[in-house]
Amino acid sequence: MQLGPPNPPDRALHPLFNAMTIAAMLSEARTVERRGCFVDRRISDIGIRPMAPTPEAGEDLQDEQPAVSDRLFAGSRVFITGGMGFLGGHVAKRLVGLGAEVTVFDLDVSRARPSIVNDPAEALHSRLSLVQGDIRLAADLRAVLVDPFDYVFHFAAYSVIERSTQHPVDTIQTNALGVVNLLEVLRHAAWRAKSITFASTDKVYGEMGTSSYSEESPLRGIGVYDAAKLAGDVFARMYNEVFGLPTVVMRLCNVFGPHDHNVAFRLIPKALARIYQGDDPEPPVLYYDSLNHWRDYIYVDDAVDAFLLVASRTTCHGHVYNVAAATHAPTPQILKDLVDCAAALECSHDPKRHAAIEHNGIRVEMRIGVPGVVAIDRQHLDGSKLRALGFAPKTSFADGLTRTVAFYRSHYRAPDRAPDRSPDRTDHLGQDGSQDHEQLAKA
Ligand SMILES: NC(=O)c1ccc[n+]([C@@H]2O[C@H](COP(=O)([O-])OP(=O)(O)OC[C@H]3O[C@@H](n4cnc5c(N)ncnc54)[C@H](O)[C@@H]3O)[C@@H](O)[C@H]2O)c1
């Protein structure tokens, strides 16, 4: 059996996973040879202890979000790029609920696509306008932005980091130049939006040099996705500074919740697909090289609150905000909580599945060759600037996880629901990007 790579000398394992723990884990593990080597092991045995509360955990959770009037968006016209996706779809749902007239612009607006917009239970599809278009093509944007909109939210992106390294040009054209296309069309429009809110990411900060990143921290994001988003982030600020557009940049940590259909790569939806997609649950996979990763997690409804808050304030124009979370945790802890949550849920529903989830635990696996992915070890956002506006996450990680697990359970297990069949939601972007380039050349 080939064991994991030596730990780089300058990157000590977190105390939860000291060398003894890992060595014991590997030597005792039930080992199965498959695609290189990996270790199949119950997570409860690998030495994870409950995580210490972070300064932000719990104390910020609020029952009420005082900052935005529900009436503000009623009757307003809202343009959401990438609104068929996870975050854009949740923003669309909230705004439709608040009485806004929502137009979703997305590369894939097909009815067959897994999306909150297409979920019959949400009854959203007939209550908004859908426009198929490509953010990389200014002509597509011009055609729809002839009409005025009060609020613009920009979520469209090549959003899967692992695939961005295979398609750097498409990633840059979408995540960097797509922002420029949108802002140029808005700059030349005969009308002016009240705000233009751009979804950036904590990945723009790159590897942490301090305990947490503030909005003033150096921007060191260097992976393909990270750098392309960073360029978009800079362009969004430049269009405020130079042309006076009312842009606001939101640097999000990891968002989780129902209806994230990027099931092939993202930690939580991927784990829940493995637990619920098949007749028998599969153990979620924890990559060996992620044992030492720490991330912030925010529940999607809280992220939506943050977007609506900054969109409602003219004083936010030209500013950058970290959308920080109530939870900062190591990746193995997140998976352990998820498995525990799913097992607990099955207790009252399906004792056989409950037993299987408990028995499976988590599979620790070697990841062989994800070339070009610049994996950041620790990410932690300082959210005090947004908190000063009155924002605080309302959903505890445990509550958010329970809602998320319940959603995926029903998504995959309810008899009338079609499971995600595509490997992930970036399929429509093309395997080698060649079609996309042809299309761009014609534009
Ligand atoms: N989900 C997270 O945890 C997270 C964290 C940090 C930042 N973000 C950012 O938030 C935004 C939304 O993320 P998400 O999780 O909803 O991703 P997602 O993949 O679910 O949604 C992205 C949407 O953009 C659409 N799209 C892709 N290329 C397009 C193009 N060329 N033209 C038009 N539409 C296109 C996709 O079809 C999809 O509906 C992205 O900009 C992402 O970088 C997300």
Range of 231's domain?
A: 77-260+296-329+376-400
Ligand 1 centroid to residue 263 C-alpha, Å: 13
CA–CA separation, 16 and 21 (whole Å): 8
| Across 335-353, average pLDDT | 93
Q: Is 178 inside a domain boundary?
A: yes
- The predicted-structure confidence for 376-418, as pLDDT tens digits, reads as follows 888 999 999 999 999 999 999 999 999 999 999 999 987 655 5
CA of 94 to the centre of ligand 1 (A): 17
- Specify the ligand 1 atom closest to the Cα of 203: 6
Domains held by the chain: number: 1
Ligand 1 interacting residues, C-beta cut-off 6 A: 82, 84-88, 106-108, 134-136, 155-159, 174, 178, 199, 201, 229, 252, 254-255, 262, 425
Average pLDDT, stretch 111-117?
96
| Residue nearest (by alpha carbon) to ligand 1 atom 38 | 85
In a domain, 170, yes or no: yes
Q: Residue range 206-216: average pLDDT?
A: 88
Alpha carbon distance 296, 293 (integer Å): 10
CATH of the domain at 233: 3.40.50.720
Distance 111 CA to ligand 1 centre (A): 18
> How far is Cα 15 from Cα 404, in angstroms, rounded to an integer?
29
Report the nearest-CA residue for atom 27 of ligand 1: 157
CB atoms near residue 32 (< 10 Å)? 11
Q: Answer whether residue 279 is part of any domain.
A: no
Structure tokens at 221: 């994001």
Smallest CA-to-CA distance from 95 within 311, 363, 338 is with: 311
Q: Which of 80, 86, 134 to mutate to test the pocket of ligand 1 (most atoms within 8 A of CB)?
A: 86
Per-residue pLDDT of 292-313, as tens digits, reads 888 999 999 999 999 999 999 9
Structural domain contains residue 290: no
C-alpha–C-alpha distance, residues 320 and 386, integer Å? 9
In a domain, 345, yes or no: no
Closest to 146 in 3D by CA, of 92, 185, 181, 104: 185
Would 66 be classed as within a structural domain?
Answer: no
Mean pLDDT for the chain overall: 82
The pLDDT of residue 17 = 42
Helix 397-413 and helix 331-347, axial crossing angle in degrees, nearest 10: 60
In the predicted structure, residue 42 carries a pLDDT above the cut 80: no
Cα gap 335→271, rounded to integer Å: 8
Task: Give the number of the atom of ligand 1 that is nearest the alpha carbon of residue 136.
Answer: 31
As a whole-number percent, the residues of the chain with pLDDT over 90 amount to 66
The reply to whether 306 falls in a domain is yes
Q: How far is the CA of 175 from the centre of ligand 1 (A)?
A: 9
Task: Please check whether residue 407 lies inside any domain of the structure.
Answer: no
Mutate to test the pocket of ligand 1, among 81, 104, 159 (most ligand atoms within 8 A of CB): 159
Q: Mean pLDDT across the stretch 71-81? A: 96
In the chain, helix, strand, coil percent, each to 5?
Answer: 40, 15, 45
173 CA → ligand 1 middle, Å: 14
